[in-house]
């Protein structure tokens, strides 16, 4: 299988969390389409998951919506012992509260985001394209974590590699809509160019998360050919799997 593993970029906000393991795996289009579960499990030993076979995986069946799933030990689907690989229906963000379940979001231009709760030892994985960003999926995920007991002071946010503003042109109507929805982030819209990293960073700050607890990869997948970009490669684009696992129970 043609997959390559990368460390998270600019992930200092997560670096001291010994209970959390996370990384990026890039799968080419053929491997991702043929065997998503195998791609997700590749390089599992690097996350401390023995052999890639003795753990369970979960990913969202992403629809560019704003649905947030909470995965606790009593989740009905997690109780199924006959499923090693779980696909959450109509979900673009998940809050992972159980150990040794490898979670992932899948992107090829959109923004992958991790939110770690340092006290409860939970991690949320968020897929935010323009639709999810406009629907404030990151804020909704953080708000859901707070309902569960999280405190903003104990949350860390990492915003992953995505297409940068220089290459993300949208139509005039959509650009104007973003400008109206996010007036507090004027740098996020330049003409018809969107900066999804800036908008999601602003959403985290709006939830009173301290600036020093927010980090962005600031890496453009369109400009870096080892990384897939749908805008650059079209249907030949592979996928970035942003993965996280809680290693302590």
Q: Is 70 exposed, middle or buried (0-12, 13-18, 19+ CB in 10 A)?
A: middle
pLDDT single digits (tens) 147-166:
999 999 999 999 999 999 99
- Does pLDDT of 77 surpass 80? no
Mean predicted lDDT score pLDDT of the chain: 93
- Does pLDDT of 52 surpass 60? no
Both tokens of 6, joined, read: 């990368």
CA dist., res. 152 & res. 135, Å (int): 20
Report whether 59 contacts 103 (CB < 8 A): yes
Residue 85 is predicted with a pLDDT of 86
| % of the chain surpassing 90 pLDDT | 84
Mean pLDDT for the stretch of residues 193-219 = 97
Torsion angle of C-alpha atoms 86, 90, 94, 97, degrees rounded to 10: -50
Which of 36-40, 53-57, 78-82, 193-197 is the least confident region? 78-82
CA dist., res. 156 & res. 213, Å (int): 5
Higher pLDDT, 213 or 72: 213
Residue 54 is predicted with a pLDDT of 66
Mean pLDDT for the stretch of residues 44-67 = 85
pLDDT single digits (tens) 198-209:
999 999 999 999
- Does pLDDT of 71 surpass 80? yes
pLDDT single digits (tens) 98-111:
998 999 999 999 99
Task: Give the chain's end-to-end CA distance (angstroms, integer).
Answer: 31
Both tokens of 40, joined, read: 């997700």
Residue 144 is predicted with a pLDDT of 98
CATH of 3-161+214-246, one of 3.10.20.740, 3.40.50.720, 3.60.140.10, 1.10.3720.10: 3.60.140.10
Higher pLDDT, 193 or 56: 193
The domain limits of the chain are: 3-161+214-246
**Helix or strand run (H / E) with residue 71:** strand 68-71
Radius of gyration of the chain (CA): 17
Helix 196-206 with 137-148: angle, nearest 10 deg: 30
Residue 183 is predicted with a pLDDT of 93
Q: Is 20 exposed, middle or buried (0-12, 13-18, 19+ CB in 10 A)?
A: buried
CA dist., res. 164 & res. 159, Å (int): 12
């Amino acid at each position: 299988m043609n997959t390559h593993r990368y460390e998270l970029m600019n992930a200092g906000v997560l670096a001291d969390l010994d209970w959390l393991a996370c990384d990026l795996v890039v799968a080419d289009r053929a491997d991702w389409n043929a065997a998503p579960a195998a791609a997700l499990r590749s390089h599992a030993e690097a996350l401390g998951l023995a052999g890639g076979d003795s753990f369970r995986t979960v990913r969202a069946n992403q629809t560019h919506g704003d649905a947030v799933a909470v995965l606790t030990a009593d989740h009905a689907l997690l109780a199924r012992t006959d499923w090693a690989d779980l696909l959450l229906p109509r979900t673009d963000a998940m809050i992972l509260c159980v150990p040794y379940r490898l979670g992932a979001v899948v992107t090829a231009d959109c923004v992958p985001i991790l939110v770690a709760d340092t006290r409860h030892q939970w991690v949320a994985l968020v897929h935010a394209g323009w639709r999810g960003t406009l629907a404030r999926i990151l804020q909704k995920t953080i708000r859901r974590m707070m309902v569960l007991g999280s405190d903003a002071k104990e949350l860390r946010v990492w915003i992953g590699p995505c297409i940068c503003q220089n290459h993300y042109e949208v139509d005039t109507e959509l650009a104007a809509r973003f400008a109206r929805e996010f007036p507090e982030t004027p740098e996020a819209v330049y003409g018809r160019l969107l900066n999804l990293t800036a908008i999601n960073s602003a959403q985290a700050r709006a939830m009173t998360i301290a600036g020093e607890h927010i980090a962005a990869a600031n890496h453009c997948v369109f400009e870096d050919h080892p990384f897939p970009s749908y805008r650059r490669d079209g249907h030949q684009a592979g996928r970035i799997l942003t993965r996280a696992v809680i290693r302590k129970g």
